């Protein structure tokens, strides 16, 4: 009777070099999985000595691809919708100035995510996290608090110009200044609730920012 013993041991039928390669690949995968699990554990675990010492490394690994956001289950879930809107002052080719209307960047991100089974982290988080950074590093008068405040302003300007420069200047001319504002609207209460909430948006309007070459997308000019 023919023996089928080798079929139950497929690795035994492989050459020694092949088995070495498979073994090394399995070890590499195990190491990668272990590192990922350790990083995620340190990120979500309570603050400890190791997470404090390696906080920068952990954050660099986690954000933005593996961000953990538990606000849905928080005791005080978000009760406001915040939209970031922008407009620009343009210098046309004939030397005149023109003011654009407001463009809702948050709404554009929302439309890009809607019905998309695999939305990018850029669409989901870039603008939102940038605006959160701005709010956390500026006072009520929109003045920056320390170096991170100035960094957040440059970050917002670059996001705006990356998304809007080509659209604003497609007819010629250049962008001289941009202005950013947020529109905050309360989430409506459920139909069975007697709670009354105003549905009027509250605006936080930032001062005009001068656009420099550092704010423009790579390859663009501001002449």
Tell me if 68 is assigned to some domain: no
Do 55 and 161 fall into the same domain? no
Do 193 and 123 fall into the same domain? yes
Do 25 and 108 fall into the same domain? no
pLDDT at 13: 73
pLDDT at 82: 93
Do 98 and 137 fall into the same domain? yes
How many domains is the chain built from? 2
The pLDDT tens digits of the residues spanning 131-179 come to 999 999 999 999 998 888 999 999 999 999 999 999 999 988 999 999 9
Tell me if 99 is assigned to some domain: yes
Please, what is the Cα angle at 62 between 134 and 105, to 5 degrees? Answer: 40
Beta strand extents in 65-143 (DSSP E only): 80-91, 97-99, 103-104
pLDDT at 205: 96
pLDDT at 123: 81
Do 30 and 89 fall into the same domain? no
CA–CA separation, 120 vs 218, rounded Å?
21
Tell me if 67 is assigned to some domain: no
pLDDT at 77: 63
How long is the chain? 223
Q: Which two three-digit tokens encode residue 31? A: 């190491």
Q: How far is CA 45 from the centre of its chain?
A: 23
Do 126 and 200 fall into the same domain? yes
DSSP designation for 155: H
Long-range Cβ pairs for the range 185-190 (8 Å, 24+): 185/80, 185/81, 185/83, 186/79, 186/80, 186/81, 187/78, 187/79, 187/80, 187/81
Model confidence pTM above 0.85: no
Nearest partner of 164 among 211, 118, 119, 198, judged by Cα? 211
Domain residue limits at 28: 5-62
Do 97 and 172 fall into the same domain? yes
Nearest partner of 19 among 10, 28, 6, judged by Cα? 10
Please check whether residue 185 is in contact with residue 203, taking contact to mean a CB–CB distance below 8 angstroms. no
Q: Is 56 strand, coil or helix?
A: helix
pLDDT of the chain along its 223 residues, tens only? 444 444 555 666 778 888 888 889 999 999 999 999 998 888 888 888 888 888 888 888 887 667 666 655 555 566 789 999 999 999 999 889 999 999 999 999 999 999 888 888 788 889 999 999 999 999 999 999 888 899 999 999 999 999 999 999 998 899 999 999 999 999 888 888 888 888 899 999 999 999 998 888 765 555 5
Please, what is the Cα angle at 181 between 174 and 175, to 5 degrees? Answer: 5
Q: Is 177 strand, coil or helix?
A: strand
Do 204 and 128 fall into the same domain? yes
User: Terminus-to-terminus CA distance in the chain, angstroms?
Assistant: 86
């Amino acid at each position: 009777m023919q023996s089928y013993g080798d079929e139950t041991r497929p690795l035994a039928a492989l050459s020694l070099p092949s088995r070495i390669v498979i073994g090394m690949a399995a070890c590499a995968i195990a190491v990668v999985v272990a590192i990922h699990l350790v990083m995620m554990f340190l990120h979500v675990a309570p603050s400890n000595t190791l997470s404090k010492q390696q906080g920068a490394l952990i954050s660099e690994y986690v954000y933005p691809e593996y961000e953990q956001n538990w606000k849905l289950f928080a005791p005080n879930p978000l009760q406001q919708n915040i939209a970031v809107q922008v407009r620009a002052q343009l210098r046309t080719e004939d030397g005149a100035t023109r003011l654009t209307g407001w463009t809702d960047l948050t709404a554009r991100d929302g439309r890009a995510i809607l019905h998309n089974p695999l939305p990018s982290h850029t669409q989901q988080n870039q603008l939102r996290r940038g605006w959160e950074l701005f709010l956390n590093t500026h006072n009520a008068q929109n003045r920056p608090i320390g170096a991170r405040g100035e960094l957040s302003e440059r970050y917002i300007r670059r996001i705006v110009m990356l998304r809007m420069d080509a659209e604003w200047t497609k007819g010629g001319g250049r962008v001289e200044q941009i202005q950013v504002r947020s529109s905050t609207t309360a989430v409506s209460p459920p139909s069975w609730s007697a709670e009354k909430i105003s549905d009027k948006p509250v605006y936080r309007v930032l001062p005009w920012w001068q656009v420099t070459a550092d704010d423009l997308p790579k390859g663009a000019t501001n002449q």
